């Protein structure tokens, strides 16, 4: 079996075999338990699809964030994006959930674009990563975040504030610590060795900007977790709260194995894809069907390995009764793959059409979102 790799810069292998419970143990995080979800529901009144279906599955100190909130101490949200290209549906998962948290708790969000990081780790120029950043700002705004409560910043543009904070962090991080956490090698460039301080800095940015201690909650996919371990170590030394996290799993790509990845364009649904292209990609996706229609009718399909089913389950069929019916119709051969794919294509196209419209409109309101120093 090919090894599954999960690091901040690389996620690959047969992800459908990834055991998320083991990942929790390996990373030393905590599972999002039913009790904790109940506690959350008392505040929010309902649970987002991603919580009900286990897309967000792990956390650190999320219970503490809720306790603080319950005694009147509001937190800030922090998430980010490495601007190296076009955004796909997998990227939107943490952002959509972040929007939900922002609405439910009425809190501010700090959104980092790490053009410096992508310059350092990819074969891209600084001009390119900056231009991807500006494009990604539109992708972020299109997620319907609140303009008056969302602050987006690009690392190389927001340096005055960020660099000083990163320096304070860097002073407490030894090379041997970051080497142990990220697996840096002697041949790695020294920029990337410093970079963790840049990604940790926004955890404490709200406290700096507001001049008081502000709890920080980071919704992000689990591969980013290595950053938050040193972040939590240095926090008390600098007099800040430790940042809390809530982690999501990866959205599988439309091919067999692996997460949705920009480097495999036919298996990823990009937010800028035309609706025809999206439809084609979905119709060509890996499914859990039998080789022939007759066999499908006799034996039924296998939703457990089917990507179409997963897309419905994680994203496009929020209704619990309907998703159950879909599963049983598939298993008993009533629903055939072609029809099911068409159904999904319709839903995805509907979603994307709205998203693309909002993305267009975003161009006029960028200024409201950008944090300047």
341 C-beta neighbours (distance < 10 Å), count: 21
Residue 370 backbone dihedrals phi, psi, to 5 degrees: -80, 130
Alpha carbon distances (Å) from 202 to 136, 164, 209: 18, 11, 10
64 C-beta neighbours (distance < 10 Å), count: 16
If one asks whether residue 303 binds ligand TRP (CB under 6 A), the answer comes out as no
Among the residue ranges 46-54, 97-105, 111-119, 329-337, the one whose residues contact ligand TRP (CB under 6 A): 111-119
Of these, 53, 56, 60, 79, which contacts ligand TRP (CB under 6 A)? 79
Nearer to ligand TRP, 82 or 289 (CB): 82
Q: What's the rounded Cα separation, in Å, for the pair 261 and 252?
A: 9
Q: What's the rounded Cα separation, in Å, for the pair 240 and 176?
A: 23
Binders of ligand TRP among residues 189 to 218 (CB under 6 A) are 199, 218
Of these, 53, 80, 250, 271, which contacts ligand TRP (CB under 6 A)? 80
Nearer to ligand TRP, 66 or 201 (CB): 201
Q: What's the rounded Cα separation, in Å, for the pair 25 and 219?
A: 19
Nearer to ligand TRP, 222 or 348 (CB): 222
Q: How many CA atoms lie within 13 A of 223 on its CB side?
A: 21
Which three-class secondary structure state does DSSP give residue 251? Answer: coil
Among the residue ranges 53-61, 78-86, 233-241, 305-313, the one whose residues contact ligand TRP (CB under 6 A): 78-86
Cβ atoms 265, 339 nearer than 8 A: no
Q: Tell me which DSSP letter residue 8 carries.
A: T
Of these, 77, 214, 220, 235, which contacts ligand TRP (CB under 6 A)? 220
Residue with tokens 């960028």: 366
If one asks whether residue 249 binds ligand TRP (CB under 6 A), the answer comes out as no
Q: What's the rounded Cα separation, in Å, for the pair 255 and 282?
A: 10
**Whole-number minimum distance, CB 181 to ligand TRP, in Å?**
14
Of these, 114, 207, 248, 267, which contacts ligand TRP (CB under 6 A)? 114
If one asks whether residue 82 binds ligand TRP (CB under 6 A), the answer comes out as yes
**Whole-number minimum distance, CB 351 to ligand TRP, in Å?**
22
**Whole-number minimum distance, CB 271 to ligand TRP, in Å?**
15
- Site residues, ligand TRP (CB under 6 A): 8, 79-82, 112, 114, 117, 199, 218, 220, 224
């Amino acid at each position: 079996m090919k090894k599954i790799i999960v690091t901040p810069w690389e996620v690959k292998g047969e992800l459908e075999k990834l055991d998320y419970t083991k990942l929790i143990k390996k990373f030393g995080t905590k599972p999002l338990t039913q009790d904790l979800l109940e506690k959350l529901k008392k505040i929010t009144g309902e649970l987002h699809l991603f919580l009900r279906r286990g897309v967000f599955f792990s956390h650190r100190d999320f219970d503490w964030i809720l306790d603080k909130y319950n005694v009147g101490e509001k937190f800030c949200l922090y998430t980010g994006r490495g601007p190296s290209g076009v955004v796909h549906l997998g990227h939107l998962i943490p952002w959509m959930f972040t929007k939900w948290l922002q609405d439910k708790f009425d809190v501010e969000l700090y959104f980092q674009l790490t053009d410096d990081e992508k310059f350092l780790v990819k074969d891209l120029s600084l001009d390119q990563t900056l231009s991807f950043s500006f494009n990604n700002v539109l992708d972020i705004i299109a997620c319907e975040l609140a303009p008056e409560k969302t602050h987006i910043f690009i690392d190389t543009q927001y340096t005055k504030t960020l660099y000083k904070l990163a320096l304070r962090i860097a002073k407490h991080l030894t090379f041997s610590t970051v080497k142990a956490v990220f697996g840096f090698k002697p041949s790695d460039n020294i920029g990337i060795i410093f970079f963790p301080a840049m990604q940790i800095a926004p955890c404490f940015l709200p406290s700096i900007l507001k001049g008081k201690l502000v709890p920080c909650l980071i919704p992000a996919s689990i591969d980013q977790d290595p950053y938050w371990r040193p972040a939590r170590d240095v926090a008390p030394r600098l007099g800040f709260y430790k940042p809390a996290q809530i982690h999501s799993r990866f959205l599988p790509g439309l091919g067999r194995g692996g997460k949705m990845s920009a480097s495999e364009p036919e298996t990823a649904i990009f937010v800028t894809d035309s609706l025809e292209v999206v439809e084609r990609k979905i119709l060509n996706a890996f499914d859990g069907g039998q080789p022939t229609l007759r066999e499908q009718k006799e034996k039924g399909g296998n939703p457990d390995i089917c990507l179409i089913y997963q897309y419905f389950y994680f994203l496009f069929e929020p209704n619990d009764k309907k998703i159950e019916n879909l599963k049983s119709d598939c298993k008993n051969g009533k629903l055939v793959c072609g029809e099911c794919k068409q159904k999904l294509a319709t839903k995805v196209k509907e979603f994307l059409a709205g998203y693309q419209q909002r993305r267009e409109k975003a161009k006029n309101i960028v200024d409201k979102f950008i944090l300047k120093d």
